Structure 1
Amino acid sequence: MSDRWESDDVLLAELRAALAEARDVPPEFAEAARAAYTWRTVDAELMLLTSYDSILDGQLAERARAAVTARQLVFDAEGVSVQVEVTEAGIAGQVLPARPGRVELLTAAGPAEEAELDELGCFLLGPPPPGPVRFRLASGGTTVVTDWVCV
């Protein structure tokens, strides 16, 4: 035993002081930790961009004789495509290439609904809520999200 610690009380006092110092995190360390934490979803933030939207398809509008009842959306990124058809009755979609996973419908308030992908990569969701939505695809340890669209 060291001569510095004449008693257990002295040892406990020094341990308390050491632990108190450890609790005082320098502000720059806390800021660095917060900055690192924002990178936790960087893979999910690599968005699937809208590559097709039937509302913006001028040729389709010219050919349509009746009101279009379904909206077609395609979101593409390297190696994955999410194709979606939105109607008043619900949302039908397919992830290509087909893979096991889950699709979530997200609103500004948070997740609204989710569905498992079947063996063909297809999924069904209920009627879309009003306002902007996006889709989150989680498959094989990777998560990607689409950009926001108003359906």
Structure 2
Amino acid sequence: MSDREPDLHEVGPEPGADDLALLQDIARLAARRDPVPPALVAMAKASFTWRTVDEELAEMVWDSAVQAGEGALVRSAAAGVRLLTFATPHLTLELEVVQTGTRRRLVGELTPATGARVVVEHDGGTSEDVSDEHGRFLVDDVPAGRIKLRCVPADGAGAALVTTWMEV
């Protein structure tokens, strides 16, 4: 037995144009003679919803950029600060977005207070922090643009809170 790896050409010939045409003909014939049942296609598409079965999409219940003009008392009236509140039936996320040039600082608090892994998805990748025993966290140096937050309880109890994509 030899230790060298075989050359691909030793294994078999590369498919030529005739081979590819034959495979396309077989695919067309199979689609016509034995199509995938529509119910099976629907079930396959529905199975994608199970990807996030342990997550709850949080509803945005407050955005100071939209609602500050409604006479509400805003905790911080400083320019460049936006306050957001997201809620699920089990967890609330209060978020302060501070503009620092082209970057953002996210200061947040989870209620009820819980330790959680906080992941911020953004156009540049992801940034993370872990909330303390009071539910507070800080994610610094997030690029301006679209973000999405995912808060996963550290103890595994309860569903993760996930926000929709938003512009900051």
TM-score for both structures, normalised by structure 2: 0.61
CA contact (8 A) 1:88 1:127 kept: no
Q: Which of the residues 57, 61, 66 maps onto 1:51?
A: 61
Alignment-mate amino acid for residue 99 of structure 2: E
**Who is 2:134 aligned against?**
120
Alignment-mate amino acid for residue 93 of structure 1: G
Q: Which of the residues 134, 139, 144 maps onto 2:161?
A: 144
CA contact (8 A) 1:87 1:127 kept: no
Question: Secondary structure of the residue that 1:99 maps to in structure 2?
Answer: coil
Alignment-mate amino acid for residue 53 of structure 2: V
Alignment-mate amino acid for residue 53 of structure 1: D
Alpha-carbon separation, structure 2, partners of 1:143 and 1:110: 23
Question: Secondary structure of the residue that 1:84 maps to in structure 2?
Answer: strand
The answer as to 2:52 corresponding to 1:41 is yes
**Who is 2:117 aligned against?**
102
Question: Secondary structure of the residue that 2:80 maps to in structure 1?
Answer: coil
CA contact (8 A) 1:100 1:117 kept: yes
CA contact (8 A) 2:88 2:161 kept: no
**Aligned pair in 2 of structure 1 residues 79, 114: CA closer, same or farther (>3 Å)?**
same
Alignment-mate amino acid for residue 164 of structure 2: D
Alpha-carbon separation, structure 1, partners of 2:152 and 2:165: 17
**Aligned pair in 2 of structure 1 residues 55, 131: CA closer, same or farther (>3 Å)?**
same
Q: Which of the residues 63, 77, 80 maps onto 2:88?
A: 77
**Who is 2:9 aligned against?**
none
Alpha-carbon separation, structure 1, partners of 2:85 and 2:141: 18
Q: Show structure 1 runs of 5+ residues with no match.
A: 1-25
Alpha-carbon separation, structure 1, partners of 2:72 and 2:44: 50
The structure 1 segments of at least 4 consecutive aligned residues displaced by more than 3 Å after TM superposition are: 26-35
Alignment-mate amino acid for residue 144 of structure 1: L
Alpha-carbon separation, structure 1, partners of 2:90 and 2:48: 27
The alignment yields a C-alpha RMSD, in angstroms, of: 2.8
Alpha-carbon separation, structure 1, partners of 2:78 and 2:131: 30
